[in-house]
Amino acid sequence: MPPKPWKTLASQPIYANKWMRLREDLAELPDGRTTIYGVVSTSHCVGVLPFLADDRVLLVRQYRYVFGENQRWEMPTGGVHPGETPEQAAQRELREEVGYSAGRLDWVSTYYTSKSIVEEVAHLYLGYGLTAAALPPDETEFLEIAALPFADVLDLVLRSEIRDGMTVIAVLHAARLRGWQP
């Protein structure tokens, strides 16, 4: 029998900006006690692992403020804007971050990026049939772009050099679909 749900008794917005919202809920537990629960909400996000015809993938490297790092590769990712489908957002992110559009997007996963205090849903795709179609980059992104052999990217994931969860999941799905076995 599944655990009983919690009941939200009250909810109070604490902070918001264009990327996230923070609220504090008063929740009743199944045994009748109450607890305070903080929730960070964001829009849905997308990621695309874009494959070139020669089995290389386009990755980006940028400074990541939270971890103070600028040396890790990741696939193009970003938020889904209001009114966009995840597929439209994926194509926009490809154009903004690597200057390409995908002739075909293959969905590989939709998942929760955190199961506890962050309310964010990620949609992951593999992109094929790339054609040049650049858009200006997001105003806060300063990117290095590289085309790396897929085998090298998989190795970076397996050695934990690529740590971005969206990229790790997409690369492992791509490896599975290509018949890779550990």
For position 134, what pLDDT does the model report? Answer: 77
**Is residue 76 a contact partner of residue 100, using CB atoms and an 8 Å limit?**
no
pLDDT higher than threshold 90 for residue 129: yes
What is the reported pLDDT for 64?
85
- pLDDT digit string (tens) for 11-38? 999 999 999 999 999 999 999 999 999 9
For the stretch 152-179, pLDDT in tens is: 999 999 999 999 999 999 999 999 999 8
Q: What is the pLDDT of residues 60-105, one digit of tens each?
A: 998 888 888 888 999 999 999 999 999 999 999 999 999 999 999 9
| pTM assigned to the model | 0.91
What structural domains does the chain harbor? 7-41 (no CATH), 45-177 (3.90.79.10)
- Could you give the C-alpha distances from 173 to 13, 80, 114, 132, in angstroms and in order? 37, 22, 19, 25
Q: CA end-to-end span of the chain, whole Å?
A: 35
